Amino acid sequence: MTAGEPALDASSPFTLPGFFAALADGELLAASCRDCGQVLVPPRPACYGCGGRRLEIESQPKEGAVFSFTAVHAAPPELEADVPYVVAIVELDSGARLTGRLEAAYEEVAIGDRVRLRTRAPSPQEQQLALDHERDWPVHYFDPAE
């Protein structure tokens, strides 16, 4: 974010509504800190690495590698029918990390596996978990890369 930039509002990519609006349009955005190089996905108006505010929005690749993963066996009641499911931290090809559901069986996942980010509309069960203003935000998840 640079000096003279307009105040933050819901359309700003530095906010979650702005981030999810871009994601709905097919673009994954991050904020890159010009002070320490930290990449923040989703973008924030201040760096959680150094506290700096010299951030710029950058488009991110939608491919990366599994950095870490786990199986969820105890889900909220709305998602109990989905258990077990895999949640992974993915290191994107840019070096930024993003957490999301991985559409693969736990036994078939390994650290370093290549994956690709996808989006879809939230299911009725996921909408029940969302706040009113989040109900139409796209859900991001990862598929094994082909």
Domain ranges of the chain: 16-59, 63-144
Angle at 25 between CA 115 and CA 3, to 5 degrees: 100
pTM: 0.88
Question: How many Å from the N-terminal Cα to the C-terminal Cα in the chain?
Answer: 36
Which helix (DSSP H) or strand (DSSP E) does residue 101 occupy?
Answer: strand 97-102
User: In this predicted model, what pLDDT tens digit does every residue of 23-46 receive, in sequence order?
Assistant: 999 999 999 999 999 999 999 999
How far is Cα 115 from Cα 138, in angstroms, rounded to an integer?
18
The residue length of the chain stands at 146
Supply the pLDDT for residue 4: 46
Residue 2 confidence class, pLDDT cut points 50, 70, 90: low
Supply the pLDDT for residue 71: 98
Supply the pLDDT for residue 23: 96
Supply the pLDDT for residue 10: 79
Supply the pLDDT for residue 39: 94
Count of CB atoms within 10 A of residue 141's CB?
19
Supply the pLDDT for residue 97: 95
Residue 133, pLDDT above cutoff 70: yes
How far is Cα 128 from Cα 82, in angstroms, rounded to an integer?
15
Supply the pLDDT for residue 11: 82
CATH annotation of 63-144: 2.40.50
Supply the pLDDT for residue 146: 73
